[in-house]
A and B are shown apart, each in its own frame.
Chain A
Amino acid sequence: MDETVRIIDNQNLVERNRVVSFLEESSGLGFDDDTEKTLVLERDGSIVATASFSGNVMKQIAIDEKFRGAGLAAPLLGETVREMLSRGHSHIFVFTKPANKEIFKGLGFRKVGGTFTDAALLEWGAEGIEKYKKELAVSRVDEAVSASAVVVNCNPFTKGHRYLIECAIRESEVVYVFVVETEKSLFRFDERIKMVSEGVKDLENVVVLPGGPYIISPVAFPSYFTHAEDLLRVQTELDAEIFAEHIASTLMIEKRWVGREPYCNVTEAYNNSLARILELYEIKLNIADRMEEGGKIVSASAVREALRTGDMETVRSMVPQTTLDYITSERAKCTIEKIRQTLSRH
């Protein structure tokens, strides 16, 4: 019997289709377009198990039913970790059913979340949630009796974001503003966090923090960015649980503020799941109504659309002066050009 673990050439359609069929037959999984590398375990030339990754997330893991429990997964997953490291991904994440957690734990994966949900998030590497919490604790405003949090992408920072933060600060002594760190938006993270910092500079007791790897990102919540119709409720809940269990507890956050989302089903579903999980941790979810300007709801996507079409009047009505200063500056030229030429909604 000949058993080998092999890396598949995803560009080779014949190879790729073999994996696609195997995934579908063995576990009903699809093959994502953004898949970076795929590994297969073959026995006498037939695929019996596979694993892939994109960025630092391991995914599309499947094993032939006939071989489950035979210890085949561990060598394949071990090789996948090594391959991810070779590609420079040193902090590795995987979503899995709670039942499969032990296989990963045996390889050194550690649980991040998944107590109240049907999926667990595990991580591998020298970085980890405990270390992140220690770093986060440095930003804690210790004398504050009540703290709340908002999570924002700010692509770009609008008057709506500012309004949400103002709502939060009216009811708390300190507000932690987490800026999503993942680079899936037209404005880069360094631009977004700069616009936020500038935009709240005059407000006291507002602490702007980078979202890090555990705040809404494709890792914690991939569907937010793809707007996939088959939105996975469990991932939302997992994200909420990680926020409550690790982040809110570290910073003593007792309220989270979100904006009402009238058009976007994904955000609506997200808010509902968020409320359900936060309640378990006795964290209150407050939903602020969206700000309107000249009969139109202020949103970052409306600003991007206006930037695309060159409608500077709308841009001016929806963003604070600090953001306007940035987007009309020399430094933002590249990003603005990108917005004009792209069809991406994000």
Chain B
Amino acid sequence: MEKRNAKAGSLESSDLLVVIDEKKPGEELEIVMHSIVEKQYGDRIVEIAYEIAALKGMDNVRILIQDRGALDYAIRARIETAIERFKKEV
């Protein structure tokens, strides 16, 4: 029942935790985002995630972003690292 996943980051303040799981064959890319600054920056974070996922050719995965107020470059770095780890893992 439990699936393999890859992650990057932490739940420390000003950081974010990114978790990537494999989806069932045929399912689309899904991005789930929760943030303490969701109202102000939520859309922007999701936009960044889609951008990086497209660049890295990620589909058929779910990317969970649990943000605790990280800066733009940290968000990018964490997502990229999680994707790299996921590619090695699966």
Contacts and interface: CB of A to CB of B under 8 A. Distances in A.
B11 interface: yes
B21 A90 contact: yes
A313 to B, nearest CB: 37
Contact of B21 (A82, A87, A126): A126
Interface residues of B, number: 20
A88 B4 contact: yes
B3 interface: yes
Interface string A95-126: 00000000000111010000000000000111
Interface residues of A, number: 21
Interface of B: 2-5, 7, 10-13, 17, 19, 21, 30, 32, 34, 36, 62, 64, 66, 68
Contact of B12 (A78, A90, A126): A78
B21 A78 contact: no
B49 to A, nearest CB: 12
B10 A126 contact: no
B17 A125 contact: no
Nearest to A189: B1
A87 B3 CA distance: 9
B87 to A, nearest CB: 17
Contact of A75 (B12, B19, B62, B66): B12
Given A82-B11, A88-B2, A108-B34, 14 more contacts: A74-B12, A78-B17, A85-B19, A87-B2, A89-B2, A90-B2, A90-B3, A90-B19, A90-B64, A107-B11, A107-B66, A124-B66, A126-B19, A126-B64
A70 B19 CA distance: 28
A89 B4 CA distance: 9
